[in-house]
Amino acid sequence: MKIMGFRWFKIIYRKTVTSIAFLPAVIALLFLFLAFIMINFDFSETGKTFKKSLHWLSLKDATTARSIVSAITSGVISLTVFSFSMVMILLNQAASQMSNRILDKLIGNRFQQYVLGFYIGTTVYALFLLSTIRDIDSGIYIPALSVYFLIACTVIDIFLFIYFLHYITQSVKYETIINRIHDDTMQALVRTCTLTSTPQEKEIVKDKSGIALPAPKSGLYQGYNANELLEICRRENINVKIIVTVGDFLLKGTTVLEINGKENPGEDLKNEVAETLNIFRGQEIINSYYYGFRQLMEIAIKALSPGINDPGTAGISLRALADLFLYRFRHFPHVSFADNDGIYRIETRQKSTDDMLREYLFPIWDYGKNDRNIQLDILNITGQLKLFVKEPALDELFNAARAAKIHQDHL
């Protein structure tokens, strides 16, 4: 129950901090706090003295101050609506022409959230300031410094809007999105695949007559809590063999792993082991580099569809995939893990590079094998990869591309 509670908190925390509304809400609260400080300074004795010494900063007419703040409020709201209406249009275009699974790369963009937060923060500041302006005879009681600070924020909003137009048009370029997916996938690969040679046979947990553990719910297998599972295995003196790979879809009741070392593990132990498994409905590249490979493959296939017909984008995806495959060919993930006593307790299952080639490169070839650009890209990519690794799938794809090109040259 403790593991489930921690996992629930971790999921809620991640959803909260990665939400598009989190940063804008934090920035808006900061602006609200800033408005409180500025207005208190404006009405303090120090603020009054400061305004008396700078007559050019003084606003002696409450109506003028109120008009300025009202105009700025309506203007910034209009700016916010226009900016993010444009974002929604571009997101819709990117989803329809590439894949709706890349939307998190665009919606989760931090710069967009900072801009949105600054817009909303300026609006919150202006509304709070508007409520403090009173018709008082003496001009020193009008929050002039706060009004001028609001004007400065509005000028910054305008410059942000100009830069935002440039930034958003660049960020939705297909090459930018593909490079972003490539970089995230590479980070996941570097973190996961740390071995420079295939795992030694002695590391593999020896298989015994295992007791099958069914999936507690339907969803995508996203790994497990390593520390908790290793502690359970050490305490109960058992070994665990996970028979599914990260990213596999599981129906409730499907076997996920086998428990070895106990002929009859109790239901309590089974439930405790099951609680360490991460089975969710969605995927993230940070948890599974396979998902990054799949996204790039889907972008290439979508680009090759008759409705889009953009082999250039497919070629960019192929080149990104080639770079990821090269790293994966040279580095390998751990397949077994030991507890603090050095006893190997957990054996995992990983996709072979041959399986990955067939799963993420062959579908692109199936869709684009009649396109000369794809034939050349496949020939170039597989020809270079063959210099670093010997894989039957690479030879098969290289020979198919060469035969298709020769056939097309004779037409």
pLDDT, tens digit (0-9, with 9 covering 90-100), for 161-211: 988 888 877 777 788 888 989 999 999 999 999 888 776 655 545 555 678
pLDDT of 384 higher than 80: yes
pLDDT of 83-140, one tens digit each?
Answer: 878 777 777 776 666 666 666 666 667 788 888 889 999 999 999 888 888 765 544 4
According to the model, what pLDDT value does residue 157 have?
92
Highest mean pLDDT among 27-31, 127-131, 262-266: 27-31
Of residues 33 and 1, more confidently modeled: 33
Please give the average per-residue pLDDT across 291-311, as a whole number.
Answer: 88
Q: Tell me how crowded residue 8 is: count the other CB atoms within 10 A of its CB.
A: 10
According to the model, what pLDDT value does residue 141 have?
63
pLDDT of 5 higher than 80: no
Smallest CA-to-CA distance from 247 within 278, 226, 206, 216 is with 278
Q: Tell me how crowded residue 145 is: count the other CB atoms within 10 A of its CB.
A: 20
Q: For a pLDDT cut of 70, what percent of the chain falls above it?
A: 86
Q: What is d(CA 115, CA 107) in angstroms, rounded to the nearest whole number?
A: 13
According to the model, what pLDDT value does residue 170 have?
77
DSSP helix/strand/coil, 369: coil
According to the model, what pLDDT value does residue 65 have?
82
pLDDT of 411 higher than 70: no
Task: State the chain's mean pLDDT as an integer.
Answer: 83
Burial of 70 (0-12, 13-18, 19+ CB in 10 A): middle
Lowest mean pLDDT among 202-211, 226-235, 312-321: 202-211
Q: What is d(CA 317, CA 311) in angstroms, rounded to the nearest whole number?
A: 10
* Banded model confidence at residue 63, pLDDT cuts 50, 70, 90: confident
- Residues near 99 by Cβ (< 8 Å), separated by ≥ 6? 295, 298, 299, 302
- Residues near 171 by Cβ (< 8 Å), separated by ≥ 6? 106, 109, 111, 177
According to the model, what pLDDT value does residue 378 have?
92
According to the model, what pLDDT value does residue 317 have?
93
pLDDT of 271 higher than 60: yes
Q: What is d(CA 291, CA 298) in angstroms, rounded to the nearest whole number?
A: 10
Burial of 265 (0-12, 13-18, 19+ CB in 10 A): middle
Smallest CA-to-CA distance from 362 within 343, 382, 342 is with 382
According to the model, what pLDDT value does residue 358 have?
92
Provide the edge-to-edge strand list for the sheet that holds 277-280: 249-250, 219-224, 277-280
pLDDT of 216-228, one tens digit each?
Answer: 889 889 888 888 8
Question: Residue 346, by phi and psi: left (phi above 0), alpha (psi -120 to 50) or beta?
Answer: beta
Please give the average per-residue pLDDT across 404-409, as a whole number.
Answer: 78
Provide the 8-state DSSP code for 198: P
